């Protein structure tokens, strides 16, 4: 493991830690926050605005291994959300390939107010079920609030379809203490029972929960244990996915440490249905996250 300062200004330091040859972690120190991300997966791992507790959960049992997704932070589900089986019955694996590939840091802007990092993921024939040529630009603005924007360019001669999720793992005192009240009156598909268009109010976020809510409205995740509110706004995302595996499923997942399911709730700004991008065109979506104490 080696640490190296990449950029240092009067306002912030960005350093690089190599876990091994393949896995590079960037760490940011700024008067308004600390944050870290992995270039593998282009994945935000942590963000802690000054005066607050860490916002994102990370598993202690993640392997950081090529081909495996990192459990925690904000995995990027793209170019598909969930399982993908093509018309010939071929399985593409869960949540696409953006989270299992290397991204590049292409620019950084450091100021008194924020640090803006731009990452790129460019490819063609990266996955046999999604061979198109593409470019994804991810712009991360870290400050006392956090903003994440993805711009996807279809560089191929034909239109492409994608689905997506910004799969945020929020650190919580316990799912039992968590409410997402703006979802109470929203219709959802239940991925566990396979029942569509359900409506019932969740008393808390204890798993197993796996729901696709048909709402693009602002969400507020209220944690009565940590006494904090996390406010999420998305653009060009049509659903919110709420997920916690619960104890029995988590026990079967090697990359969730013991009792880890009691430490997070996933609330994901998603497009769970196919979106089309014409040849040579682009699409974008984003989320903004802020934190308040109460």
Ligand X SMILES: O=P(O)(O)OC[C@H]1O[C@@H](O)[C@H](O)[C@@H](O)[C@@H]1O
Catalytic residue among 30, 95, 167, 263: 167
**Is 240 near ligand X (CB under 6 A)?**
no
Cis peptide preceding 208, ω within 30 of 0: yes
Nearest-CA neighbor of 165 among 67, 55, 83, 231? 83
Q: In the bound complex, what is the minimum distance in angstroms from residue 65's beta carbon to ligand X?
A: 14
Q: In the bound complex, what is the minimum distance in angstroms from residue 183's beta carbon to ligand X?
A: 14
Q: In the bound complex, what is the minimum distance in angstroms from residue 43's beta carbon to ligand X?
A: 12
Catalytic (active site) residue 247: no
**Is 152 near ligand X (CB under 6 A)?**
no
**Is 191 near ligand X (CB under 6 A)?**
yes
13-18 and 188-190: which strand pairing? unpaired
Catalytic (active site) residue 167: yes
Nearest-CA neighbor of 272 among 210, 181, 223? 210
**Is 170 near ligand X (CB under 6 A)?**
no
Nearest-CA neighbor of 257 among 79, 72, 101, 116? 72
* Residue closer to ligand X, measured from CB, 23 or 241: 241
Q: In the bound complex, what is the minimum distance in angstroms from residue 49's beta carbon to ligand X?
A: 25
Catalytic residue among 27, 261, 263, 268: 268
* Residue closer to ligand X, measured from CB, 152 or 267: 267
41-100 binders of ligand X (CB under 6 A): 69, 82, 94-95
Q: Show the tokens assigned to 271.
A: 């497009």
**Is 167 near ligand X (CB under 6 A)?**
yes
13-18 and 160-166: which strand pairing? unpaired
- Secondary-structure percent of the chain, ordered helix, strand, coil, rounded to 5: 5, 50, 45
Catalytic sites, residue numbers: 167, 268
């Amino acid at each position: 493991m080696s640490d190296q300062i990449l950029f240092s200004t009067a306002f912030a330091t960005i350093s690089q830690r190599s876990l091994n040859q393949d896995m590079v972690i960037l760490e940011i120190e700024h008067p308004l926050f600390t944050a870290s991300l992995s270039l593998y997966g282009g994945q935000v791992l942590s963000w802690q605005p000054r005066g607050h507790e860490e916002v994102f959960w990370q598993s202690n049992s993640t392997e950081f291994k090529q081909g495996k997704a990192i459990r925690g932070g904000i995995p990027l589900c793209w170019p598909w959300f969930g399982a993908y089986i093509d018309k010939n019955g071929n399985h593409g694996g869960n949540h696409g390939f953006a989270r299992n590939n290397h991204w590049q840091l292409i620019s950084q802007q450091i100021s008194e107010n924020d640090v803006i990092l731009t990452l790129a993921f460019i490819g063609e024939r990266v996955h046999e079920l999604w061979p198109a040529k593409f470019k994804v630009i991810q712009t991360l603005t870290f400050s006392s609030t956090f903003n994440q924007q993805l711009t996807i360019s279809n560089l191929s001669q034909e239109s492409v379809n994608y689905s997506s999720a910004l799969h945020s793992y929020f650190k919580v005192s316990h799912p039992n203490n968590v409410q997402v009240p703006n979802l109470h009156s929203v219709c959802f598909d239940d991925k566990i029972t396979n029942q569509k268009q359900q409506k019932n109010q969740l008393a808390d976020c204890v798993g197993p929960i796996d729901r696709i809510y048909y709402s693009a409205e602002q969400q507020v995740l209220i944690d009565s244990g940590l006494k904090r509110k996390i406010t999420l706004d998305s653009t060009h995302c049509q659903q919110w996915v709420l997920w916690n595996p619960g104890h029995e499923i988590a026990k079967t997942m090697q990359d969730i440490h013991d009792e880890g399911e009691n430490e997070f709730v996933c609330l994901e700004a998603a497009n769970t249905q196919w979106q089309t991008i014409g040849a040579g065109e682009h699409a974008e979506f984003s989320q903004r996250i802020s934190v308040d104490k109460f």
